[in-house]
A and B are shown apart, each in its own frame.
Chain A
Amino acid sequence: MLPPGGRRISPFLEVNSLRKFFPVQRSLIAQVFARSPPDAVHAVDGVTFNVERGDVFGLVGESGSGKTTAGRITAGLISPTEGHVTFDGVEIFSMGKSELRKLRKRIQLVYQDPLSSLNPRMTIGDAVSEPLRYLSDESASKSREHVSDLLERVGLSPADSFYFRYPHQLSGGQRQRVVIARALSIGPEYLVADEPVAMVDVSVRAQIMDLLLTMQRELNLTILLITHDLAVAKYMCNKIAVMYLGKIMEYARTEDLFRNPLHPYTQALLAAVPIPDPTKRSLKKIPSGEIPSALHPPDGCVFNPRCPRVFGKCSIEVPSLLEREPGHYVACHLYT
């Protein structure tokens, strides 16, 4: 079976059967007397997908879905309990130190909160040139030029007026531009953006989304966008994987996912999104309950306790992610 995302032999980013369990700390007494193995949070539980070069790939889900953990693993920041991540043909987690250092130049991250991602005592110029100092051999004068050019590119213009300022002197949107400029300074090919607009003011969100898309086009970046916001994912991504409790429920090209959502969870998620159009108000069919604890995920399909279309098999057997329509994968017994 071909994994969702790509049909070529070696895609740009290949994520295969990824699992990440975080063990739960137990007291010494519990450790000594426990009869069962220690509990673990099943943050990511068997995730497979491929990202092609130039994709803006969305990992969408509610809190606790495992989207952030999966995203960080693909950036090589945390190692998986099981599974493989292959970046441009090379397995990330079997790399030596020098190889990993080279990889760092090719992969960068943008986080949700620009204020906590920036050192308050470091000027904007120093922050943006920091990756260059550690990872490149560029001379100081050349890097100054490079940083000014980058600041202009991300819309912090004129660059000279921003270079010696500090993060607290900028607005939230400007700070996120700095974070993006810093991530791009080293010339990465792959950018993991974790909720890049969630903390940005509503009137500034479109600017930041457009900036990321422009940079993607101009620099031929591949972006993994982690978000809980389906409208943001729809605007930015060409492919989307919907996650729930550590698993991919559905994966498709963006237009197919929104036109024809197959998984009952995706359908519920789409129905729940508040629509900024009062003429489209309707009584929504919303599943009850909340996402269960990833400490003891339900047997069978993880969505079965909340699923409006649950039947016998769902609580027993885990559905596999299968291609239902060309390029459209769903993990649901309704379709098997």
Chain B
Amino acid sequence: MRAVDQLLQVESLSVEYRTGTLAKAVQDVSLNLKTGETLGLVGESGSGKSTLGLAVMGLIRPPGFVTRGKIVFDGTNLLTLAPEQLRELRGRKIAMIFQDPMTSLNPVKKIGDHFVEYIHAHDSHVSEQVAKGRAKTVLEDLGIPESRLNDYPHQFSGGMRQRVMIGLALALEPSLIIADEPTTALDVIVEAQILQQLANLKSKYSLSLILITHNMGVVAEMADRVAVMYAGRLAEVAPVNSIFGTPRHPYTEALLESIPNILASDKVLKTIPGTPPDLTHPPSGCPFHPRCRYAFERCRKEIPMPVITGNESEAACFRLEGEESRHS
């Protein structure tokens, strides 16, 4: 039965890319999102975090295939919807923001016309005037004056373009926004400005947010709960304070020990040996075992299943087995 406050439930999702060699980008991932929550989805390149975001948007296209699982949004399994039903949902219910706004904006189209086109694609009855009015309102929330609706994308700075993208995502008042590395291409001051605006808009528009990033700092600043992915699998999910305070998966623990922090005084960083695996030739057993300081024989042979480690927390590691009984 679906809990009332669950907006999104991903169940045993697997996605693979078939390009000569098979890459299992997402494997057996189960995850949920509560209404109003900000979920930080973290991982390195190749961890599957972006593929998972695209899957929720219904944007996996060949050579990518969803091979297994369910994506239940607001009670409906998105994977059973016809393409036109999905298109209806996208934008109106779920919208996505990407890293590079320049590739998402049409260089020969004025900013205002982007809004008109986007809104018309979902509702052709909306007049141009109403559409532009809506554009004006969202952009004002993002600190962009109405006069700039007549400007072209190249007249905007990187930060302003990303604000336009956020504005477009908000234009149809969706309930879920998936932001994939929205501030990675920006300088640190602009990044902080945009993250702050995103947090404010989230409450104003009563949004739920999936924030995909490789930056543990951004996650610590923004997320309520954090899901850590490694080599296509979910390593750990827990409330943000638990992830940073008492990480349970060896990968999360090692990652946090290896990132520099400007507030920490003279901290010596511990390096993680090795490199993230090649998804076309993943290691046997637990994908992190070749780099794990605790790995033992079983880790090389079997894939660990998620173990409940606390309230809303689970981690996929054999070392945690036996703890489950204490919590359930």
Is residue B44 contacting chain A, with contact meaning CB distance below 8 A? yes
**In contact, B241 and A205 (Cβ under 8 angstroms):** no
Decide yes or no: A290 and B157 within 8 Å by CB, A206-B272, A274-B195, A274-B215 being known contacts.
Answer: yes
**In contact, A203 and B190 (Cβ under 8 angstroms):** no
Smallest CB gap from B192: residue in A: A272
B216 to chain A minimum Cβ distance, whole angstroms, is 4
Is residue A235 contacting chain B, with contact meaning CB distance below 8 A? yes
> For residues 259 through 294 of chain B, which have their beta carbon under 8 Å from a beta carbon of chain A?
259-263, 269-273, 275-276, 278, 291
Is residue A63 contacting chain B, with contact meaning CB distance below 8 A? yes
Count of chain A residues with a beta carbon within 8 Å of a chain B beta carbon: 42
**In contact, A207 and B272 (Cβ under 8 angstroms):** yes
**In contact, B263 and A206 (Cβ under 8 angstroms):** no
A182 to chain B minimum Cβ distance, whole angstroms, is 19
**In contact, B220 and A278 (Cβ under 8 angstroms):** yes
Query: Which of A19-27, A40-48, A110-118, A224-232 contacts the other chain?
Result: A224-232
Is residue A268 contacting chain B, with contact meaning CB distance below 8 A? yes
In-complex Cβ contact of A201 among B189, B260, B261, B276 (8 A): B276
Is residue A273 contacting chain B, with contact meaning CB distance below 8 A? yes
Is residue A276 contacting chain B, with contact meaning CB distance below 8 A? yes
Decide yes or no: A287 and B221 within 8 Å by CB, A201-B276, A210-B271 being known contacts.
Answer: no
Give bound CA distance, A272 to B188, whole Å.
Answer: 6
Give bound CA distance, A286 to B200, whole Å.
Answer: 15
Smallest CB gap from B245: residue in A: A279
> For residues 228 through 287 of chain A, which have their beta carbon under 8 Å from a beta carbon of chain B?
228, 230-232, 234-235, 258, 268-281, 284, 286-287
Smallest CB gap from A284: residue in B: B192
> For residues 184 through 222 of chain A, which have their beta carbon under 8 Å from a beta carbon of chain B?
201-207, 209-210
Chain A residues with CB under 8 A of B256: 276
Smallest CB gap from A199: residue in B: B45
Count of chain B residues with a beta carbon within 8 Å of a chain A beta carbon: 48
Interface of chain B, main secondary structure: helix
- What per-residue 1/0 map shows which CB atoms of B134-177 lie under 8 Å from chain A? 00000000010000000000000111100000000000000000
> For residues 156 through 182 of chain A, which have their beta carbon under 8 Å from a beta carbon of chain B?
171-174
Is residue B249 contacting chain A, with contact meaning CB distance below 8 A? no
**In contact, B241 and A274 (Cβ under 8 angstroms):** no
A288 to chain B minimum Cβ distance, whole angstroms, is 7
A49 to chain B minimum Cβ distance, whole angstroms, is 22
**In contact, B263 and A277 (Cβ under 8 angstroms):** yes
Is residue A62 contacting chain B, with contact meaning CB distance below 8 A? yes
Smallest CB gap from B243: residue in A: A278
A308 to chain B minimum Cβ distance, whole angstroms, is 12
**In contact, A231 and B259 (Cβ under 8 angstroms):** yes
- What per-residue 1/0 map shows which CB atoms of B184-203 lie under 8 Å from chain A? 00011111110110000000
Is residue B240 contacting chain A, with contact meaning CB distance below 8 A? yes
B312 to chain A minimum Cβ distance, whole angstroms, is 15
Chain A residues with CB under 8 A of B118: none
Is residue B54 contacting chain A, with contact meaning CB distance below 8 A? no
A259 to chain B minimum Cβ distance, whole angstroms, is 9
Give bound CA distance, A6 to B189, whole Å.
Answer: 31
Decide yes or no: A273 and B259 within 8 Å by CB, A203-B254, A204-B275, A286-B193 being known contacts.
Answer: no
Give bound CA distance, A198 to B270, whole Å.
Answer: 18
Give bound CA distance, A281 to B196, whole Å.
Answer: 12
Give bound CA distance, A271 to B160, whole Å.
Answer: 21
- Determine which residue in B216, B219, B262, B272 has the highest number of CB atoms from chain A within 10 A of its CB, and name it: B262
**In contact, A230 and B189 (Cβ under 8 angstroms):** no
Is residue B214 contacting chain A, with contact meaning CB distance below 8 A? yes
Chain B residues with CB under 8 A of A231: 217, 259-262
**In contact, A269 and B188 (Cβ under 8 angstroms):** yes
Give bound CA distance, A202 to B188, whole Å.
Answer: 17
Is residue B106 contacting chain A, with contact meaning CB distance below 8 A? no
Chain B residues with CB under 8 A of A174: 275
**In contact, A272 and B189 (Cβ under 8 angstroms):** yes
Is residue A310 contacting chain B, with contact meaning CB distance below 8 A? no
Is residue A307 contacting chain B, with contact meaning CB distance below 8 A? no
**In contact, A62 and B188 (Cβ under 8 angstroms):** yes
Give bound CA distance, A270 to B262, whole Å.
Answer: 8
Give bound CA distance, A206 to B190, whole Å.
Answer: 26
Chain B residues with CB under 8 A of A232: 260
Smallest CB gap from B216: residue in A: A276
**In contact, A230 and B188 (Cβ under 8 angstroms):** yes
**In contact, B276 and A268 (Cβ under 8 angstroms):** no
In-complex Cβ contact of A171 among B195, B251, B275 (8 A): B275
B217 to chain A minimum Cβ distance, whole angstroms, is 3
**In contact, A201 and B44 (Cβ under 8 angstroms):** yes
In-complex Cβ contact of A235 among B193, B223, B251, B260 (8 A): B260
In-complex Cβ contact of B270 among A206, A258, A269, A272 (8 A): A206
In-complex Cβ contact of A276 among B160, B261, B269, B291 (8 A): B261
Decide yes or no: A205 and B258 within 8 Å by CB, A268-B189, A278-B220 being known contacts.
Answer: yes
**In contact, A202 and B214 (Cβ under 8 angstroms):** yes
Is residue A318 contacting chain B, with contact meaning CB distance below 8 A? no
Chain A residues with CB under 8 A of B65: none
**In contact, B269 and A209 (Cβ under 8 angstroms):** yes
**In contact, A203 and B221 (Cβ under 8 angstroms):** no
Is residue A103 contacting chain B, with contact meaning CB distance below 8 A? no
A17 to chain B minimum Cβ distance, whole angstroms, is 27
Is residue A295 contacting chain B, with contact meaning CB distance below 8 A? no
Give bound CA distance, A228 to B215, whole Å.
Answer: 14
8 A-B pairs whose Cβ atoms sit less than 8 Å apart in the complex: A171-B278, A202-B258, A205-B259, A206-B269, A210-B271, A228-B187, A274-B195, A281-B221
Q: Which 4 pairs of residues, A with B, have the shortest CB-CB distance?
A: A274-B217, A272-B192, A62-B187, A231-B260
Which B residues lie at the A interface, using CB under 8 A? 44-45, 143, 157-160, 187-193, 195-196, 214-221, 223, 240-241, 244-245, 251, 254-256, 258-263, 269-273, 275-276, 278, 291
Which A residues lie at the B interface, using CB under 8 A? 62-63, 171-174, 201-207, 209-210, 228, 230-232, 234-235, 258, 268-281, 284, 286-288, 290-291
Q: A275-B261, A277-B263, A290-B158 are in contact. List 11 more A-B contacts (CB 8 A).
A: A201-B276, A202-B255, A203-B276, A205-B259, A207-B272, A209-B269, A272-B191, A273-B262, A278-B240, A286-B192, A287-B189
